[in-house]
Structures are given as structure tokens and as C-alpha cells.
Amino acid sequence: MFTTIVVQPIFNLLVLIYALLPGHNLGLAIILFTVVIRLLMWPLVKKQLHHAKAMRELQPELRRIKKESKGNKQQESAMIMELYKEREVNPFSSVGLLIIQIPIFIALYSGINRVIRDPSQIIEFTYPFIQNLGSVKELAADITKFDATLFGFIDLTRPALNPGGGIYWPAMFLVAGSALAQFFQSKQLMPKDKDSRSLRQILKDASSGKQTEQSEVNAAVGQSTKYFVPAMVFLFTLNLPSALSLYWMTSGLVAIAQQARILRKDETEMEEMVDKPTAKQRAKKATEAKVVNTKPKRSKQSKKQTKKRRK
């Protein structure tokens, strides 16, 4: 069922792009395929980015809640959840995008493996209307015409680490590029707080008996993932066909461009939200102004009489 519903449609989309491209190059087809997938996911990506932006905006509010709760963990958690509810923010909104990307990656991996094991799968595993395209008919007549490279420089069927030992350096550059793209993609969305401590510093202070706030621990763990996830991507793609590294790297670069567009567009709004006083602060100022305005004013005559009495 997974093969029919997920793997075959994704594989056919890739083959269709390959067949329609001038020159029929697998590397360029994967790049365009990745761009198409990211564009199709744009509504979900946009929603995720707005949630990420909202989380960045909430940092001053979270610090205020930390001060007001004065170490009361239960009160702090309740206030944070109320703040999330008020601003309609879901801290786990990015999970949805990850859930969609994983099946796409698995399907692409399955399709590439089919081609590596048996290049004739390009014809046998495609839909009839794709099989009738001229370029696909040419491949059916002579499968050796299939170009599984990136512009003729990188064999996308080979992994960075060869099974018999040795390094295929062109593929290694793609693996490193995919890890770097993932790093900058994660870093771009991380809340920036100059006063925040690293996870190592928090653990060190905790071992010496100092109290640590759960919100600060969560923020530090989030910061550490920008190193952990790229490292996992690097190790995971070392033994996979470099076509998957090309997909992951392209996906990361497109994601960085999409995130930059949203964050740049909302930067002014974000700064206004950070500087904007809270509802409680506005109510307090309004009350103080009302008290000042309701104070009785003394007339000039009464002031003169007071001065005479003092003399």
C-alpha cells in the first residue's frame, strides 16, 4: 500500500521531470523535483514559520512570566500555557512538516534503489502516459542512455563511503552540504536570547546546587538540536546514494530561502510586538493616569493663603 500510494507517485513525478528536461539529467531533475515538493508544501511551511516567529516574539513574555512566578513551577507552567492559548501558538507545530518530509525521503530512497538495482525500473515502474513520452521510449530501447549524474560530475548512485572502503569525495561534498544546509535552516528559526545559557552551563550550575528553570532548560535543549540534527543527517547519508544527499541539501537551501522571506517580511512586525506593552502593563498605566486626573486641583487663591499662613 505504501508503495502504491506514496513511492510510485513520487517516483513517477521524478521520472516525469527527468523526461521533460532538456538534456535529461538526473541531478537537475532531483533539484527541480525538490523545489516542486517544497512549493507544494508551502501552506504548511508558511504556517510553521509563523509559529516559529510567534515563539521568537514570546521570549520577552516568557522572561516576564519567569519573574512573576518567583520560582513557583506550577504557576509558571500554567501562565505559559495560558500565554500559548492566548496567542494561538503551538510549540510542536514543526512536527507536522517533519512527518510529511519523512515519507517523501523514504519514497525517494526506495525509488533510487530500484534504479540502482535495475535501471529498467524507470520504464516498468512508471505510469503508461509517462512510458509513452519520447525520451522514456528512447530509454526503453537503450537503457544505457540514462544519465544518473549531476551534470556529468557526480555519480548520484554512489554513496560517499564505498562498501569496499575508500571515500567518493564528490558525494562527500554533497553529504557535507546537506548537513550545513540543515544547520543554517535550524539556526535561522532559533530564538535569539543573549542572556540564555548553554545546556552544558546549566548542567554545571545544577551540579553545584543552583536552581534552573524548566523553560531555560527547554530553550537550551532546542539550541543544542541545531548541532545534533545536522550531525545525524551527515552520518545517516554517508552510506546512502548521493542522490539523497542532493535532495536533502536542495531541500535545506530552498527552506532557508522560504524562511528568510517570511522572517524578513515580518521583521518590522516582530520588533513592534516585542516592544509592545502587555495588556496588564497597559491597564496599569491607564489606572495610574486615571488616578492622577481625579486628584482635586488647588486654586491659586488657596495656594496664596497657605503661603501667608506659613509666613
- Cell numbers representing residue 208 in the block: 553545584
- pLDDT for 195 equals 53
CB 14 within 8 A of CB 6: no
Give start and end residues of each alpha helix (H) in the chain. 2, 8-20, 26-40, 42-57, 59-69, 73-87, 94-117, 121-124, 128-131, 134-141, 169-189, 199-207, 214-237, 242-265, 267-275, 279-294, 300-310
Residue at grid coordinates 532538456: 22
pTM (2 decimals)?
0.70
CA distance linking residue 248 with residue 253, whole number of Å: 9
CA distance linking residue 154 with residue 171, whole number of Å: 7
- pLDDT for 131 equals 93
Residue 2 CB burial class (10 angstroms; 0-12, 13-18, ≥19)? exposed
Sign of the C-alpha dihedral computed for residues 292, 297, 300 and 305 taken in this order = negative
- Cell numbers representing residue 11 in the block: 517516483
Cβ atoms < 10 Å from Cβ of 156: 26
DSSP label at residue 126: S
SS3 90: coil
CB 239 within 8 A of CB 159: yes
- pLDDT for 270 equals 43
Measured at the alpha carbon of residue 254, what is the angle toward residues 252 and 104, in degrees to the nearest 5? 65
CA distance linking residue 252 with residue 246, whole number of Å: 10
CB 182 within 8 A of CB 105: no
pLDDT along the chain (311 residues), means of 10: 90 93 92 91 77 72 77 77 75 66 86 86 91 92 91 92 87 95 83 56 59 55 72 91 93 89 63 48 59 54 58 54
Q: Max Cα separation, the chain?
A: 118
Cβ atoms < 10 Å from Cβ of 139: 23
CA distance linking residue 116 with residue 125, whole number of Å: 13
CB 24 within 8 A of CB 76: no
State which amino acid sits at residue 1: M
- pLDDT for 69 equals 76
Strands 154-155 and 149-150: antiparallel
How many CA atoms within 13 Å lie on the side-chain side of 198? Answer: 6
- Cell numbers representing residue 162 in the block: 564505498
Residue 188 CB burial class (10 angstroms; 0-12, 13-18, ≥19)? middle
